[in-house]
Structures are given as C-alpha cells and as structure tokens.
Amino acid sequence: METTRKQTMRGVLLFAFNTDKVDYYKMAINTAKRANKFLDLPVTVITDESTDLTKYDYKFDNVIIRPANKDNLKGKDIWINKGRYQAYELSPYDETLLIDTDYLINSDKLLTIFDLYDDFMCHNTTSIIMVPDDPQEKLGLNMPNSLWATVIAFKKTPKVKMIFDCMQMVQENYNHYVNLYNFFSATYRNDYSLTIALKIVNGQSEDASYYIPWNLVHVAKNTYVYRDTDTEYTVLYDHWNRGKIKKEYITIKDMDIHLLNKDNYMELIDE
Amino acid sequence: MDTKTLIQEAKARFNHNSAKAYLKDKYDSKLIVAEQGGLWKATPELISFLYNSTDSHVVILDNYSNPVKVNREQLHVTLRKTYDFVMEQWHNEWKQLESKR
C-alpha cells in the first residue's frame, strides 16, 4: 500500500507596514532575498493596502493584506507595530520564523533553531556590537530581562496559540500591564508584550527551553555599518572618552545583526 | 568611497576587545548541538568527561538541566567533531583580525 507523508512546511513571515518616513516594504524585500539566499526558505509578507506591490521587482511567496493599526507613536512618528499576535493565525507555514525587517540575515544560523526548539523560541539575551559590557535590558526595575520579538520561531500548537492570544490581550490592555509590571513605556512594544505573555503562559516561571541559546546581536544607533561584500561588513563606532571622540571599527562576516538605525539599514540594501 | 579609504580618512582604530566579543558571540553558539534528546555545548570539560568514562551509557545534565541518558561514545564523537571544527574556524578568524592594526 502506498503511503504519503505530509512534508513540514517551513517559512519566514515578515510584517511590513510603511510609514511616512520608513519604507518597511523595501526593507522586507531585502530581508526576504537574504532569507531565500541564506536559509533557502519561502517568505510571506503581511502589509496593508497602501503598499504598492509593483514598485519593486521582487515576488514574495505570499502577500497577505491586513489593515494597518496606526494607534502607536514612537516619539512624534507613527509606528505600525501592533497586531504582531496575528502571526499565529496568518502564517501559512507549519514552522515559522517571524523576523523583524531590520534584522540582517547574514548566515544560515537561524536554521539551527528548527533542530533545537520544541514549539517556540525567542531571544532573551542580547549583545551590542562595539559595546561588549552593555547590561541586559529589563522590563523594569527589579523585573526580569526583556524578551525580544525580533526573531520568533514557532510551530502551530495549542500552547503557542496561547502565547500569541496572550500577546493580543496584553496589547489590548497595555496600560494595565504597564501599571501592573511597573515599567515605563508610552510606546507599545512587541518585546514587552511577548515578555509578559510568555510569563503568564508559563505561570510566571522561567523556562530556558523557550530561549534561543545565543545572543541577539544589536547594532546601536551610534554605530554605523558599511557593506564590504554581501556577507562582510565594517562596523564604525564613535567612542566618547573624556569629551573626545575616538573612531573605532571592527569587521564582521557571516553573522546576523539587528540594526536599530533604519536609515543605515536602507543604505545596506542591494539595489 | 570604499570602506578602507573611509577607515583611513576617519583615522579609525581597530578595536580588538570588540572584535574578541564579536567572535565569541559568533562562535559560542556554533558549539551548541542537539542530540539524543538533549541540548549540549561542546566544551573541553564535557568532551573530557565523555572520553574518560568507561560505561557505554551515562546520564548527564544537558543545557536545560535535564538529566539525559546518552550513548557516551556517540555523543563524544559528535561533540569532539563540532569542537574541533568550530574552534579551528574561530582561531583562523581571530588570527586574521589580530593582524589588523
């Protein structure tokens, strides 16, 4: 008798809602190209109807149109980052890598997560390039380390659904959780709603198996990245010392980085 | 302007400490291996323990502090291979970076 075995579909999911200042769709295309190249995975993008899908010459495997929630400000600018909890429902994949568009994929390292995780993983530790001793970000005073929604790997299981449902609950009642956990944040952050949601789902206990066992590597805003080759970059840093700036640099290769400076990211995009 | 010229004109200095930290970030994670139902880091200590034990199966705490009964020889071979491969790459890249001034 012939039997068929359903193949597990793995893929990358990106959220890209353009604002007046940042072309997140263009960033998503760059991330998708690099996901295709380094991870050999299909990519789905979630965007809104204002995005001109014909503007750039790249075809996503899937495009999902959803209304943009513009109810969040970062400084004076609109930041459309709400609704990330929909990833569970909208992902067409059995196993999904949900990645921020400002995460520069520069190796195949993310594929390792598929061998390591049960059904959900995210980063709980970070390091900052050129600032080796920077402390971990905490949710608030005397609170645990913040988790990072920059890279989330998940399968579609009942427990993972609870995590994303809980992120929705935190987003919809954000001020309540700001008061409850006693942290300061006028701006809604997915990192914080993820931190709170995972704590609630895990009964306020720590479970290391949910954490990616390496650091999320940030490039801070006072650091500039220059492209040498497709996988090699020079990182230039202004080191303030006794009122003077010393320029310092290192070169990096074959390592993923998370660029906090969106303008810098745009300059690294292959045309 | 290419990056080399930019570095020269900015009179930027290569930061060896940051380069060291970058390499640690990059290669530490490559030492992590999932095998026989546990998650392991290929460290000299664990490799030595596996090498020096005589039983065919041993119970060890994995990275998540779960006791896992493993085939000693099989895990030793995997971790030793991983360690040698990753440390060789780490060393080579460090030598390259160290030559920068």
CA angle B44, B19, B92 (to 5 degrees): 55
What is the rounded CA–CA span in Å between residue B29 and residue A128?
16
Which phi and psi (to 5°) does residue B23 adopt? -65, -35
Do A115 and B34 count as a contact with CB atoms less than 8 A apart? yes
Q: Determine, yes or no, domain membership for A135.
A: yes
Residues from chain A that touch B22, judged by Cβ atoms under 8 A, are 129, 217, 250, 252, 255
In a domain, A158, yes or no: yes
Instruction: Please indicate if any CB of chain B lies within 8 Å of the CB of A251.
Output: yes
Q: Residue A225's closest chain B neighbor by CA?
A: B3
B7 part of a folded domain? no
The model's pTM: 0.93
pLDDT at B101 over 80: no
Which DSSP state fits A69? Answer: -
Across residues A37-59, what is the average pLDDT?
A: 96
A129/B18 CB distance under 8 A: yes
Per-residue pLDDT at A62: 96
Which chain A residue is nearest to residue B10, measuring alpha carbons?
Answer: A247
- pLDDT of residue B82 exceeding 90, the answer is yes
Query: What average pLDDT is seen over chain A?
Result: 92
d(C-alpha A80, C-alpha A20), whole Å: 11
Q: Look at residue A148 and tell me if it is in a domain.
A: yes
pLDDT at B6: 83
| pLDDT score for A79 | 86
**Closest in B13, B21, B32 to A132, CB measured:** B21
Q: What ipTM did this prediction achieve? A: 0.90
Q: Is residue A247 part of a domain?
A: no
Instruction: Specify if B1 maps to a domain.
Output: no
Q: What range does the domain containing B91 cover?
A: 13-98
Q: Where are the alpha helices (DSSP H) in chain A?
A: 24-34, 87-90, 113-116, 158-172, 174-181, 190-201, 262-268
Would you tell me which residues 15-34 of chain B have a C-beta closer than 8 angstroms to some C-beta of chain A?
15, 17-22, 25-26, 28-30, 32, 34
Q: How many domains does chain A have?
A: 1
Calculate mean pLDDT across residues B35-59: 97
- Judged against a pLDDT cut of 70, whether residue A1 lies above it is answered with no
| Subunit contact A249:B12, Cβ cutoff 8 A | yes
User: For position A112, which CATH number holds?
Assistant: 3.90.550.10
Angle separating helix axes B72-98 and B44-52, nearest 10 degrees: 150
| Contact indicator for A75, A42 with CB cutoff of 8 Å | no
Chain A residues within an 8 Å CB radius of B29: 109, 112, 213-215
Residues 43-82 of B with CB under 8 A from A: 63-65
Higher pLDDT: A70 or A192? It is A192
Q: Find where tokens 């530790």 sit.
A: A125
**Which residue range is the domain that position A119 belongs to?**
10-218
Please check whether residue A266 lies inside any domain of the structure. Answer: no
Is the pLDDT at A3 greater than 60, yes or no?
no
Pairwise CB contact (< 8 Å): B63 & A208: yes
Contact B39 A213 (CB under 8 A): yes
Is residue A180 assigned to a domain?
yes
Per the structure, the count of domains in chain B is 1
Residue B76, domain member (yes or no): yes
The count of CB pairs under 8 A between chains A and B is 81
Taking an 8 Å cut-off on Cβ atoms, the answer to whether B39 and A130 are in contact is no
**A42 occurs within a structural domain:** yes
A80 within a domain of the structure (yes/no): yes
Q: Do A247 and B11 touch (CB under 8 A)?
A: yes
**Residue recorded with tokens 């049960």:** A118
Residues A209, B64: C-beta atoms closer than 8 Å: yes
Query: Is A191 within 8 Å of A226 (Cβ atoms)?
Result: no
pLDDT band at A51 (very low <50, low <70, confident <90, very high): very high
Q: How confident is the model at residue B59 (pLDDT cuts 50, 70, 90)?
A: very high
